[in-house]
Each structure stands twice: as C-alpha cells, then as structure tokens.
Amino acid sequence: MEYKIILIGCGTVGQGLLEILERKAEFLRDCYQFEPKIVAITDLMKGTVVAPEGLQIQKVLGTLKEGKKLNQYPGPKQQTDDYLDPLDLIEQVEADIMAEMTYTDIKTGEPATSYIKKALRMGKHVVTSNKGPAALHYQELKELAHLNRRHFRIEGTVMSGTPVFHLFENGLAGNDLREVKGILNGTTNFILSQMELDGLEYDEALKLAQQLGYAEADPTADVEGFDAVAKVVILANALMGGQLKPADVRRQGISHLRKKDILEAREAGLRYKLIASVKKDGKKIEASVAPQKLPLTDPLAGVMGAQNALTFDTDLMGKVTIQGAGAGRTETGFSILSDLLAISRCALK
C-alpha cells in the first residue's frame, strides 16, 4: 500500500530514515506491502523540496551529501520558496503521514508541537522522535489524534529504535505495569563505565565522551539528568496514563561523583548507574532520576558503555529487561520506520 509522507526536519535522523527506505524498498514492499512515497521535505538549514509524484530518495541523499540545498534536487519538483515553513507545507501538501524530526526544545516543546497539532487537524498521521512534544503534551496530542482518527506515534523518543512502546503495545499487551526503571542516557552510562573500568576521574571520562562524540560541548542536559527526566516523563504518561511534567520528577545528575565513590561501590559488589524510574501505586505515580548503587546481579548493572536498558515490572510476566541502542543515525531512523509500519499494519487489517 502506498503512503504519501512529508518529512519535517532532515538532519541526522531524517537522513537515517531515508537511507533505510532506499536500502530496503523492495523488502518493505514484498514483506509488509509498505510503499512509502516521500512527497515533500522541509528543513530550516537545508531548505525545502516538494514533489507530489514522489522524490527519488537516492537523488535527495546525493544532493545533501554534496552540501546543496534541497531546492537544488535534480529531479522533477514543484516550484517553492527556498524554505517553506512547516506549517504552510503541512497545509499545502497532500500526504497521509508526517514524520516530525526537528530539534528538541524540552522547555516548550515548540515549534514541533505546533507542527504535530496542525498535521493531526489536517488529517495526517504523525510519527516523531522529538522528546519535547511527547514529554510536555503527550495526553493532549494523543486525544487530538483520537479525535481525528489518526495515529500519534513516539517510539523514537525514549530508546531510539529499541522497542519500548511497541513492546508494551504488542508483546506485553494485557500486562499491568507497576514500575519501569532503567538507563536512559548513553552519555552518563559511558562516563560511569569509564570511571570504573579505566579508573578515570569524572572530568577525564567526560572529556573522553566529548572526544568520541557521546557528549555535547555543553553536557548539562545529559550529566545533570535533564535528558533522562524527559524520557521518564514520557514513559509515565504514555505507559501509565500519568499527567507528569518534568518539574514533577526528582532529579540528581552524576557530576558530583568521584572515582573513589565508584571504586568503593565496586569493592562492595555494587555498581553506580544513573537510574530513571517511574512507579505506580494505585492512582499515584512517582518518578525520579538519580545515581543508584545496584547489585551486580541486577540486569541493569551489566549494561556498560553507551547502551540503554529498561526493566519493566509487570503483574503477569514479572520483570522483563530490554537492552539496546539509545541513539544513533540508523537506530533512530529505524524508530520512525517502525512507527510507519505500525500505521500500515493497522490500515491493512
């Protein structure tokens, strides 16, 4: 089945998605009856291209690789301004699905939230990897999607392409979720791993993480726990029906930890991890992000490097732990694909 798709944002994640769609086009058609047609792309830095008959993905990627703007795409296209505002694009271009992959603003959720609302009101399904709208406005956006009989899917917002929401929607369907806890930030997990395995001080491990591209020049969002807070709020609201805001989450980062703390824990048979957790007790939902000393028998204690992991405590299956990538070009691109396929499966029923 053919789906007309518009991309809002075509940076690392958007290009990762396009590379997957190009590489797996035949496989997706033959195995899933999924035939995506990218009809428009707009990106603040890379410009806009609109092609109602569909863009040739290989040519789009080639254009971007050469450092050109999207309006220099060499195939058939509609004449537009160099850059078309996403709100105008959503209104003007006929499409079935919008994939929203712009930058995250965890304080306001904008401008992505406005794009999502517009698309849903215009009758388009929405998939996004953007934490801002999901953390700040999940229930409102889910209700708007329901009102318009459209999907609002957010697989890529918590653990990149590692299945969290799909797991609970399908494999663990029927379970009551009592608690979720885990490692939701690869930067801090890498730093803590290096402090223990290589005996580095915090500042040395942070510098290494920055050199390897795991940490930003300003690492505050990661090391002080703000990134994990956004993700745990999404889990609370999407999986437990909560109404939490980031300000409701008790938060402590890892910047105060020293090598001696890590080594003392190791001597006691324990291992430091930055743990994000959300627990439901009746109608009460509480969430926190803080370093914890875990026994080495805990599955989360064995997760090293930049990997992420989550343990679900359920009423029927007990504790179930998943581990995988929490970031990455291909991995997050796959998260968008997994949501697109979920929409396609529902349409085929």
Q: What pLDDT does residue 283 have?
A: 87
For residue 176, the 8-state DSSP code is P
Q: What is the pLDDT along the chain (349 residues), one digit of tens a residue?
A: 999 999 999 999 999 999 999 999 999 999 999 999 999 999 999 999 999 999 999 999 999 999 999 999 999 999 878 999 999 999 999 999 999 999 999 999 999 999 999 999 999 999 999 999 999 999 999 999 999 999 999 999 999 999 999 999 999 999 999 999 999 999 999 999 999 999 999 999 999 999 998 999 999 999 999 999 999 999 999 999 999 999 999 999 999 999 999 999 999 999 999 999 999 988 899 999 999 999 999 999 999 999 999 999 999 999 999 999 988 899 999 999 999 999 999 887 6
Beta carbons of 86 and 115 less than 8 angstroms apart = yes
Bond into 111 cis (ω within 30): yes
Neighbours of 169 (CB within 10 A): 14
Instruction: Take residue 244 and report the two structure tokens written for it.
Output: 């939490």
Going by DSSP bridges, is the β-strand pair 2-8/152-153 parallel, antiparallel, or unpaired?
unpaired
> What CATH topology corresponds to 171-324?
Dihydrodipicolinate Reductase; domain 2 (3.30.360)
CATH 3.40.50.720 residue ranges for the chain: 2-162+329-348
Give 163's contacts (C-beta < 8 A, 6+ positions apart). 155, 322, 338
- Class of domain 2-162+329-348 as given by CATH: alpha beta
Beta carbons of 43 and 70 less than 8 angstroms apart = yes
Beta carbons of 13 and 332 less than 8 angstroms apart = yes
Beta carbons of 134 and 42 less than 8 angstroms apart = no
- Helix, strand, or coil (residue 198): coil
For residue 163, the 8-state DSSP code is -
Give 165's contacts (C-beta < 8 A, 6+ positions apart). 153, 154, 155, 158, 238, 239
Beta bridge partners of 309: 183, 323
Q: What pLDDT does residue 348 have?
A: 72
At residue 51, what is the residue type?
A
For the annotated catalytic residues, the residue numbers are 231
CATH 3.30.360.10 residue ranges for the chain: 171-324
Instruction: Take residue 123 and report the two structure tokens written for it.
Output: 């009758």
Q: What pLDDT does residue 80 have?
A: 78
Going by DSSP bridges, is the β-strand pair 152-153/177-183 parallel, antiparallel, or unpaired?
unpaired
